Structure 1
Amino acid sequence: MTNDLIQERDRASAWFRTLRDQIVAAFEDLEKTHATGPLSDQAPATFEVTETKRKSDDGSDAGGGLMSVMRGGRVFEKVGVNVSTVYGTLGERAQMAMAARKGIPGMKDDPRFWASGISLVAHMQNPHAPAVHMNTRMFWTPHAWWFGGGSDLNPCIEYDEDTAHFHATQKQHLDPHGEALYPELKAWADEYFFVPHRGRARGVGGIFMDDRCTDDWEADFALTQDIGKAFLPAYLPLVEKRRVQDWTDADKDAQLVHRGLYAEYNLVYDRGTKFGLETGHDANAVLMSLPPLAKWV
């Protein structure tokens, strides 16, 4: 492995940690500044941070990360912001899935991998405030490297102006990389975040990419960074606006039913969930995305 590649991987891992720190600080600030509206008389919550460890089959260290979860807050009912850097060898199931989906030859002969990324899911107290998901990541094998990630908005009560702001902010951050890119990643998100057995999307969309390798590492890394940089300006104003609204029992019921849809998607279709469990990462960290309460009708 060349020194350049090691430096590139280190830079990607460090960026995901920096983004994690920024988001955790911003979310805790939302809790602290919630001065009026529902639940504002409660104490603000803070993140509980747990170090995660991954072990290889022989018991040796295989990386890990930080699992940061905030529960029972004034604004956030449950939010997790995880960052990790893991490495080792892919198991047979993961090798076969990777080779089949990405067309990578030689995985069986050399199944080493390295992966780093940030993953976030927020479930809100107020049904008017939208749930959200975001992740960005870099993956490496001896045969290929690529970036992936994106973010999507998951309101149970939809507001057209919120959806418009979320998408416009993402477009603003992606346009410097080419004006054709945002429509492409938006369409990819519409396809990826679709729940086939329900015949509907899990939310109002966003952006998504995978297998991003143009052979220009700097350009692909810059794009991945801008996907992450778009998240807070796209999402924070929506929470600040909706956290003060009153809600009804019917609103809360709609939220719980929508969370059921979200849980179905993450357990049945989400690639990150499948990969995390297949490669032996901390199950609590992998399943952090699931809502604290949900309902099925």
Structure 2
Amino acid sequence: MSFDARAVLDARARTSPPEDPEVAAERRQAASGWFRELRDRLCAAFEAIEDDYAGPMNPDLAPGRFERTAWERPGGGGGEMSVMRGRVFEKVGVNISVVHGGFSPEFAKQIPGADRDPAPGGADGAGAQFWAAGVSLVAHMWSPHVPAAHMNTRHIRTTLGWFGGGGDLTPITPHAPDTARFHGAFKAACDAHDADYYPRFKAWCDDYFFLPHRGETRGVGGIFYDYLDSGDWARDFAFTRDVGLAFLDAYPAIIRAHMNRSWTEAERDYQLIRRGRYAEFNLLYDRGTQFGLKTGGNTEAILMSMPPHAKWP
């Protein structure tokens, strides 16, 4: 990426006044409340898909329903896993978390604002303290004709505060209309806020979801952004909400376009091989996986992104 979002965030922090503690608390509550609402809307849309399935495959499976499991983080906060296994979704998880606490000294050096002196009042924690909330979704489908997908949005606060997230599509075999629908939804969300967002965040996604050891991208991309602090918190929050809504608009429609098609054993076998690439990326390179494991998050929730079955040739 030629645009260094972290450098912009650090530069802004040097000139911005400390945030009012009450304002900071209101913003934390608003962000975490939205992530929970988005989780509920996504789960409802996916359960409706399970009810509407009318294809010939998996005739013995009942429509799936999400099972929710709450967890607590020993260092502060916690979250809730929502996982469903059904007849369309082989495995889908929509997790939320609101956590706070401290970084290790080594990890703090990698996080903007975590290695700074405490801000006056210490409203959001001082030194290597943090607060983070987000929603994270990964869907792995039974059908090789329905692409896997990932989406997450998050708000992180140290002595700085920023938004991040995005979504990407991972088809077994790329389908141009699906790619156009997915990217079109994100482009519309980006363009409503800043004409530069879509080309910048699309390129960032292509760079981020790349497997260097394979020399290939994980899928057909989408958008990815991080360290977003334009100086207008409400604007950045509105954009982050629209990213989630864009995914909610596009992905269920893509599923419904293909979910009733049959597939062959050869197609299923190739799907499992491609899933191996997904697993490789998440274990080797994914920033969210590393953040969760290094801040004492729930291991099962963090590794929810892994496919239920995969293979290597």
Is the Cα–Cα contact under 8 Å of residues 20 and 118 in structure 1 kept in the other structure? yes
Deviation at 1:250, TM superposition (A): 1.3
Deviations 1:123-160 (A, max 9, x none): 00001000000000000012x11100000000112211
Equivalent pair of 1:135/1:151 in contact (CA under 8 Å): yes
**Contact 1:37 1:243 survives alignment (8 Å):** no
Q: Which amino acid aligns with 1:114?
A: W
* Structure 2 residue 167 is the aligned partner of structure 1 residue 138: no
Q: Contact between 2:115 and 2:127, CA under 8 Å: does it hold in 1?
A: no
Residues 190-216 of structure 1: CA distance to partner in whole angstroms, max 9, x if unpaired? 001111110000000000000001111
- What does 1:272-283 align with in structure 2 at a 5 Å threshold? 272-283=288-299
Verify: 1:48 aligned to 2:63, yes or no.
no
Task: After TM superposition, give the deviation of residue 18 of structure 1 in Å.
Answer: 0.3
Letter in 2 for 1:76: F
> Are 2:43 and 2:66, in contact at CA under 8 Å, matched by a contact in 1?
yes
What residue identity is the alignment partner of 1:223?
F
Which whole-Å CA distance do the structure 2 matches of 1:285 and 1:93 have between them?
24
Cα distance, 1:42 vs structure 2: 2.6
Aligned residues: CA RMSD: 1.4
Residue equivalent to 1:121: 138
In 1, distance between residues paired with 2:242 and 2:96?
17
In structure 2, stretches of 5+ residues that fail to align are 1-19, 119-125
Partner of residue 111, structure 1:
128
CA shift digits 1:200-236 (9 cap, x unpaired): 0000000000000111101111111111110111111
Aligned letter for 2:235?
A
Counterpart among 228, 244, 251 of residue 212 in structure 1: 228
CA shift for structure 1 position 35 = 2.2
Is the aligned partner of 1:75 residue 2:88? yes
Find 2:98's aligned residue among 80, 85, 92: 85
Taking structure 1 as the reference length, what is the TM-score of the superposition?
0.93
Retained in 2: the 8 A contact 1:34–1:40? Answer: no
Q: C-alpha displacement at 1:175, in angstroms? A: 1.0
**Which of 31, 35, 38 is residue 12 of structure 1 equivalent to?**
31
Q: What is the identity percentage for the equivalent residue pairs of Structure 1 and Structure 2?
A: 51
Tell me, in whole angstroms, the C-alpha distance in 2 between the residues paired with 1:107 and 1:70: 43
Q: Report how far residue 107 of structure 1 moved.
A: 6.7
Q: Secondary structure at the match of 1:19?
A: helix
Q: Which moved more, 1:106-115 or 1:215-224?
A: 106-115
Q: 1:289 to 1:154 in 2, by over 3 A?
A: same
Unaligned runs of 5+ in 1: 57-61
Report what 1:32 is aligned to.
51
Q: Aligned partner of 1:78: which letter?
A: K
Give 2:297's aligned amino acid. Answer: H
**Pair 1:163 & 2:179 matched:** yes
Structure 2 equivalent of residue 183 of structure 1: 199
- Indicate conservation of the 8 Å contact 1:114/1:141, yes or no: yes
Moved more, 36-45 or 89-98: 36-45
- Give the Cα separation in 2 of the matches to 1:9 and 1:275: 19
Aligned residue number for residue 59 of structure 1: none
Per-residue deviation, 1:41? 5.1
CA contact (8 A) 2:108 2:114 kept: no
